[in-house]
Structure formats: structure tokens, C-alpha cells
Amino acid sequence: MDTRSRVVEVAARLLRESGPAAVTTRGVAEAAGVQAPAIYRLFGDKDGLIEAVAEHVMTSYVAGKAAVVQSARAAGVDPLEDLRAGWDAQIAFGLANPSLFWLLGDPDRVRGSAAARAGRDVLAARVRRVAATGRLKVSERRAGDLIVAAAVGAIQTLLATTADERDPGLAAALYDAVLAQILTDPISADQQSELSVMVAFRAVAPTIDALSAAERQLVVEWLDRAIAARER
């Protein structure tokens, strides 16, 4: 392992175990077995180190989530069960790693993070599997945004409460509330709403091999426009 990787992993461990106060230039240098000037040479300053730690942690976490989603798809796991598993994992991660959650939750950091975008891609893949079943009554994007907003809110609320006073059913109740907003009731094909049909077709349109890439893109653009009009 090179020096940069070792320093980042040590800093991530200190953050996870002892909180932000432990992530000092001197403390990280000592724990990693390097001289303090090496930190400045590699990261510029403490903020640069923190940015590197955030991206490292997020990349590792997202890689694990992506592998789970691929396994679930290959094993034919029900899309709704897979979506729920992702929610539970996100809540558990946030509560188990509060310092990392606050660090990774910085909107400015998330907007510029490749790992954060990859994380949203993992959620999007889960949502698309649900959409393909014809159960979504909103666009995939809105469904994903609602899930993220609810998960972040649940974790923030629970972390703001002492462990012994937390409502153990809060996260589950929020998830159920989100499902009520994004899912249709199980119905027969002839009872599906026009919007849920469009959303389902949007989920599978990019995979239609009989169409050219340009044709698939055109179909997706038309459907996105139609779905957005219905959601206004």
C-alpha cells in the first residue's frame, strides 16, 4: 500500500472510531507512521485530507452496495425486497457511523463526488427494477429523490436523539410513507394507469435491441417529457 492510501485509511479509521476531533494532521501522521510534512505534500492541508477520506469511504461503501444489487438481480430477488434491503443498509450505515454520515452528507461535497454519483446510480438501478414491474406511479427520478430525502431525514432525526430514546419504528414508517407515494397497488395489467405504464416502458426502453441507439434515446426522451408533464 502506498503512503497516500495508508494515510487515508488511517484517517478514516480515526474518524470512525474517535470522531472529527481525532483527525488532526499530527495525529494522522503519527498513526500512519509518516512525518507531518508528508500530509501537506500529499493533500495540501487538513481539508484536502478530509476530502480524500470522504471520497475513499464513499467509494468503498458504494462498491459494496453495487455488488449486492448485481447479486440480487442475478438471483432474481424481488425488486421491492431489494429496494427495502438498500434502505435498511443505508439507515444502518448512518446510525453506526455518525461522524462519517455528517461528513458524507455535506451537499457541496456530494455534488462534486464521483462516488456519490455512483451511489445514486446504485439506487437508480434498484428503482428501475421496480419501475419495470409497472408498480411505479411517479418517475424513476422522483422516486429516487423521495427515497434519498426520507433516508437522510430519518438518519438525521435518529442521530439527534440519544440511542435509548430513539423511536425504533421511525425509519420503517418513513419508508412505508415513501412507498405509498411512489407505488401503485398491485393491479391487473388492464387497470394500470397511463403514468405507471409510461414509467414501466421508460425503464425497459434503453434495453430494446430491436431499436437503434438513436431510436432508443429518442423514445426515452419522449417518455421523460410525457412523464414530467404528468408530474407537474
Measure the CA–CA gap between 61 and 200, rounded to whole angstroms.
29
Query: What does residue 97 show for φ and ψ, rounded to 5 degrees?
Result: -135, 65
Q: How many domains does the chain have?
A: 1
Q: Which letter, b or e, does each residue of 156-180 get, where b requires 16 or more Cβ atoms within 10 Å of its Cβ?
A: eebeeeeeeeeeeeebeebbeebbe
Whether 11 maps to a domain, the answer reads: no
- Compute the half-sphere exposure of residue 154: CA atoms within 13 Å on the CB side of its CA: 27
Q: What pLDDT, on a 0 to 100 scale, did the predictor assign at position 16?
A: 84
Q: Based on DSSP, count helices (H) and strands (E) in the chain, helices before strands.
A: 12, 0
Whether 112 maps to a domain, the answer reads: yes
- Residue identified by cell 487515508 is 8
Strand partners, 183: 136
Measure the CA–CA gap between 153 and 157, rounded to whole angstroms.
6
* Grid coordinates given for 85: 434491503
Per-residue pLDDT of 178-223, as tens digits, reads 999 999 876 444 445 777 788 888 888 888 888 888 888 988 888 8
Q: What pLDDT, on a 0 to 100 scale, did the predictor assign at position 186?
A: 64
Measure the CA–CA gap between 59 and 114, rounded to whole angstroms.
8
Per-residue pLDDT of 2-40, as tens digits, reads 899 999 999 989 888 888 788 888 889 999 999 988 989
Whether 14 maps to a domain, the answer reads: no
The DSSP element (H or E) to which 122 belongs, if any, is helix 114-131
Whether 40 maps to a domain, the answer reads: no
Q: What pLDDT, on a 0 to 100 scale, did the predictor assign at position 192?
A: 57
Measure the CA–CA gap between 209 and 217, rounded to whole angstroms.
12
Query: What does residue 183 show for φ and ψ, rounded to 5 degrees?
Result: -110, 145
Whether 23 maps to a domain, the answer reads: no
Q: What pLDDT, on a 0 to 100 scale, did the predictor assign at position 200?
A: 82
pLDDT > 70 fraction of the chain, expressed in percent and rounded:
97
The per-residue pLDDT of the chain, averaged, comes to 87
CA-wise closest residue to 88 among 105, 65, 111: 65
Whether 38 maps to a domain, the answer reads: no
Per-residue pLDDT of 71-128, as tens digits, reads 888 888 999 999 999 999 999 989 988 888 887 777 877 787 788 888 899 999 999 9
Long-range contacts of 225-228 (CB under 8 A, 24+ apart): 226/198, 227/139, 227/195, 227/198, 227/199, 227/202, 228/139
Whether 12 maps to a domain, the answer reads: no
Range of the domain at 178: 45-231
Query: What does residue 147 show for φ and ψ, rounded to 5 degrees?
Result: -65, -45
Whether 151 maps to a domain, the answer reads: yes
130 neighbors 136 (Cβ within 8 angstroms): yes
DSSP-assigned letter for residue 188 = -
